Amino acid sequence: MTNSVLYPCDNRFRSSKLLNGIWKFKFDPNSVGESENWQLGLTDTIDMPVPGSFSDLFTTSKERDYVGDFWYERDFYMPKGWDGQNLLIRFGSLTHRAVVYCNGIKITSHEGGFLPVVADISGAIKPNEKNRLVVKLNNELSEETLPVGTTRTLKSGRKISLPYFDFYNYSGIQRNVWLLSIPVNSIQNYSTNIKLYEDYANIDYKVESDIGDINVELFDERGHKVSSTKGNNGVLKVHNPNLWKVRNAYLYTIRISLVKDNEVVDQYENKLGIRTVQVKDSQILINGEPVYLKGFGKHEDFDILGKSFNWSIVKRDFECMKWTNANCFRTSHYPYAEEWYQMADEEGFLIIDEVPAVGMMRSFQNFVDAGKGKYTRFFETSTIPQLKENHIEQVREMINRDKNHPSVFAWSMFNESETTSDAAFSYFKDIFEVARNTDPQSRPCTGALEKNSQPDTCKVYPLCDFICLNRYYGWYIDGGEAVEDAEDKFIDEMEKWKDKSLNKPFIFTEFGTDNLVSEHKLPSIMWSQEYQNEYLKMYFEIFDKYSFVQGELVWNFADFQTSQGIRRVDGNRKGIFTRERQPKDAAFLLKKRWENK
Ligand code: GCB
């Protein structure tokens, strides 16, 4: 029995029970927990919601900005009728690293804060008694783990985190926690790959399971069976398929059954969209048709909730994105909770799925340094082998988790890394290769390039199937009075890319200005809403001049929390929406442009 990361599914064979709610919580600043046997049970605890980011619930900075080890605990009973099954514990994520104990027994440990942690607890659980789940987490940043940053110890002995990235280091048990009951002989994983022909589609599939016979069936949205076949590997043929289209999604249901001695012993169902992805010349093709990407770089971020998963925020964000006529977003700068992808599948949104490889230029203000030629020999440091190991593992885990979502059309291997050295190239060559070897659908791979990654200096862009540029001409570079120079510099760069005749699509994965809802100025000045609109119009004019520009994802969908600093006014204010998800002026500009684009 492997620890399948398949999203929970309830049916005759499988059950799930959410363990969300109030858990016990305790900081462990001196890392004494294990030596004092905290894994057996915590004392002197406080209440803590799960899912939840702990930071913004507190009223002192010491607690909000806490860095180090911290512990969660809750008791649970195994539901009636679950005996004889395999029991798994499944965390949507544990940020950034964790050790899980059940009844004092170590069950698993995991590195990386944005992907599921699943473990078999069958051996540790007591069927008829109260069971205790204890989780030790740690949220320190380093140059060996993703996302990249460092941890500083103040004179008082208190640790603070110094992220090399521009979002607040929220942590905790931030996503759903489930107890799962799975048959002893079970289905563990499956993947699909779609090929379209004139009047039919072939869905090549692969199922990993315990020994037995596999049946695969496909149902349309009305529940009618449209195809079926047998075997762990095979092809489902669908005549005159309803395609999953951008902003016009059609979802079939795939049902996989495991049969032993003529009896079904396990069944797994999930949604399936029939669509293909291709990069051809300078276009991105979905089902063979070119699509221009319109949308946002986002964050999982909200007032009080931090990065906690919450369905209402997912719903509101999709409603706002639909209102602007967007069709795409990038999960900057880490894989989001799985439910985001489920809604994107339903709503026909495209996703660039990003691994948490952010901060790979050793800068506390990467957003400024990214434009100013800072070079830190990041890839020539002794921490690189360990970092690379973690990076590879998280690429694998992300693709394994998200590979069956029709919404996911591309993988992003990094955000704003240093790219100008041979060392950077050889590092990323291996990372891209892992992604390409892992994805059964061979989706395009890319990475978001900062301003130092220029046509004549960047060594990494040849690895990208399409080029993603983050550019801030007119904000970090030549903002305000100098904005006309910004425009010249931007056009100059674009001409250099054009001269390269790369015959690849270019997507702008970031461009934007900070602004305050309270600021209106005539003539415009930086931080006013008028300035944001003028800046966006300048960018749109330039995009429209170059036919290889095939998408625009504005930075950012909404204002979001960051570390404190002289350039951040209670966070990053580049939102097209406020942090409360109300439109700023630019939202109306985008809505109008994207209606006709
Ligand atoms: C960037 C980063 C992003 C920042 C953004 C900004 O280049 O990729 O994480 O938030 O700039 O607003 O400075």
Structure tokens, 497: 């890319």
3-state secondary structure of 173: coil
Mean pLDDT across 160-169: 97
- Ligand 1 center to residue 366 CA distance, Å? 7
Mean pLDDT across 12-22: 98
- Ligand 1 center to residue 250 CA distance, Å? 34
Residue type, 225: K
CA distance 559 to 575: 4
Q: Where in the chain is CATH 3.20.20.80?
A: 308-509+533-557
Find out whether the peptide bond into 523 is cis, omega within 30 degrees of 0: yes
What count of other Cβ atoms lies within 10 Å of the Cβ of residue 178?
Answer: 19
Structure tokens, 269: 């169902």
- Ligand 1 center to residue 472 CA distance, Å? 9
- Ligand 1 center to residue 293 CA distance, Å? 19
Structure tokens, 408: 């996911």
Q: Whose CA is nearest to atom 6 of ligand 1?
A: 367
Instruction: Find, among 245, 268, 280, 438, the residue nearest to 353 by Cα.
Output: 438
Arithmetic mean of pLDDT over the chain: 97
Structure tokens, 140: 């320190």
- Report whether 536 contacts 588 (CB < 8 A): no
Mode of pairing for the β-strands spanning 69-76 and 46-50: unpaired
Instruction: Find, among 147, 511, 516, the residue nearest to 330 by Cα.
Output: 511
The DSSP-derived string for 105-121 is EEEEEEE-SSS-EEEE-
Q: In a mutational test of the pocket of ligand 1, which residue from 510, 515, 556, 567 has the highest number of ligand atoms less than 8 Å from its CB?
A: 510
Q: Whose CA is nearest to atom 2 of ligand 1?
A: 367
Q: Ligand 1 pocket: which residues have CB below 6 Å?
A: 165-166, 367, 370, 415-416, 450, 470, 510, 555, 572, 574
- Ligand 1 center to residue 65 CA distance, Å? 21
Question: What share of the chain in percent tops pLDDT 90?
Answer: 97
CA-to-CA separations, 107 to 111, 124, 250, in angstroms, rounded: 14, 8, 40
Q: Where in the chain is CATH 2.60.40.10?
A: 185-274
3-state secondary structure of 232: coil
> Does pLDDT of 367 surpass 80?
no
- Ligand 1 center to residue 572 CA distance, Å? 9
- Report whether 341 contacts 328 (CB < 8 A): no
Which atom of ligand 1 has the smallest separation from the CA of 450?
A: 7
Question: Which tens digit of pLDDT belongs to each residue from 446-494?
Answer: 999 999 999 999 999 999 999 999 999 999 999 999 999 999 999 999 9
Question: Which tens digit of pLDDT belongs to each residue from 375-394?
Answer: 888 999 999 999 999 999 99
Mode of pairing for the β-strands spanning 506-510 and 549-555: parallel
Opening angle at CA 272, ends 267 and 277, nearest 5 = 140
Q: Whose CA is nearest to atom 11 of ligand 1?
A: 367
Question: Which tens digit of pLDDT belongs to each residue from 102-128?
Answer: 999 999 999 999 999 999 999 999 999
CA distance 78 to 125: 8
Question: Which tens digit of pLDDT belongs to each residue from 542-590?
Answer: 999 999 999 999 999 999 999 999 999 999 999 999 999 999 999 999 9
Q: In a mutational test of the pocket of ligand 1, which residue from 414, 416, 579 has the highest number of ligand atoms less than 8 Å from its CB?
A: 416
Instruction: Find, among 513, 162, 499, the residue nearest to 359 by Cα.
Output: 162
The half-sphere exposure of 578 on its side-chain side, counting CA atoms within 13 A, is 11
Catalytic residue among 143, 354, 397, 416: 416
Opening angle at CA 9, ends 6 and 14, nearest 5 = 105
CA distance 377 to 383: 12
Q: Hey, what CATH topology would domain 13-180 get?
A: Jelly Rolls (2.60.120)
CA-to-CA separations, 302 to 6, 147, 168, in angstroms, rounded: 27, 20, 11
Residue type, 572: N
Mean pLDDT across 331-338: 98
3-state secondary structure of 428: helix
> Does pLDDT of 246 surpass 80?
yes
DSSP H or E segment with residue 213: strand 213-219
CA-to-CA separations, 483 to 118, 283, 471, 554, 576, in angstroms, rounded: 51, 30, 14, 19, 21
- Ligand 1 center to residue 330 CA distance, Å? 13
Q: In a mutational test of the pocket of ligand 1, which residue from 301, 368, 555, 576 has the highest number of ligand atoms less than 8 Å from its CB?
A: 555
CA distance 449 to 455: 11
Which atom of ligand 1 has the smallest separation from the CA of 470?
A: 7
- Report whether 71 contacts 25 (CB < 8 A): yes
Catalytic residue among 111, 354, 397, 510: 510
pLDDT band at 1 (very low <50, low <70, confident <90, very high): very low
Whether residue 534 lies in the annotated active site: no
Structure tokens, 305: 């909730």
> Does pLDDT of 2 surpass 90?
no
Which atom of ligand 1 has the smallest separation from the CA of 562?
A: 10
Q: Whose CA is nearest to atom 7 of ligand 1?
A: 367
**Dihedrals phi, psi of 542, to nearest 5 degrees:** -70, -45
Q: Measure the CA dihedral 471/477/479/483, to 10°.
A: -80
Q: In a mutational test of the pocket of ligand 1, which residue from 169, 366, 513, 553 has the highest number of ligand atoms less than 8 Å from its CB?
A: 366
Note the pTM of the prediction, 2 decimals: 0.98
CA distance 156 to 158: 5
- Ligand 1 center to residue 416 CA distance, Å? 9
- Report whether 27 contacts 66 (CB < 8 A): yes
**Rg, C-alpha atoms of the chain:** 24
Question: Which tens digit of pLDDT belongs to each residue from 48-74?
Answer: 999 999 999 999 999 999 999 999 999
The CATH number of the structural domain formed by 185-274 is 2.60.40.10
Mean pLDDT across 281-305: 98
The DSSP-derived string for 370-381 is TTTT----GGGS
CA distance 168 to 141: 12
Question: Which tens digit of pLDDT belongs to each residue from 457-470?
Answer: 999 999 999 999 99
3-state secondary structure of 162: strand
Number of residues that this document lists for the chain: 597
CA distance 156 to 62: 11
Q: Whose CA is nearest to atom 3 of ligand 1?
A: 166
The complex scores an ipTM of 0.99
CA distance 412 to 5: 21
- Report whether 509 contacts 471 (CB < 8 A): no
Q: Where in the chain is CATH 2.60.120.260?
A: 13-180
Whether residue 416 lies in the annotated active site: yes
The DSSP-derived string for 283-343 is EEEETTEE--EEEEE--S-BTTTBT---HHHHHHHHHHHHHTT--EEE-TTS---HHHHHH
Q: Would you tell me which CATH number, out of the four given (3.30.230.10, 3.40.109.10, 3.20.20.80, 3.40.50.300), belongs to the domain 308-509+533-557?
A: 3.20.20.80
- Report whether 86 contacts 69 (CB < 8 A): no
- Report whether 29 contacts 214 (CB < 8 A): no
Q: Whose CA is nearest to atom 10 of ligand 1?
A: 166
CA distance 305 to 494: 40
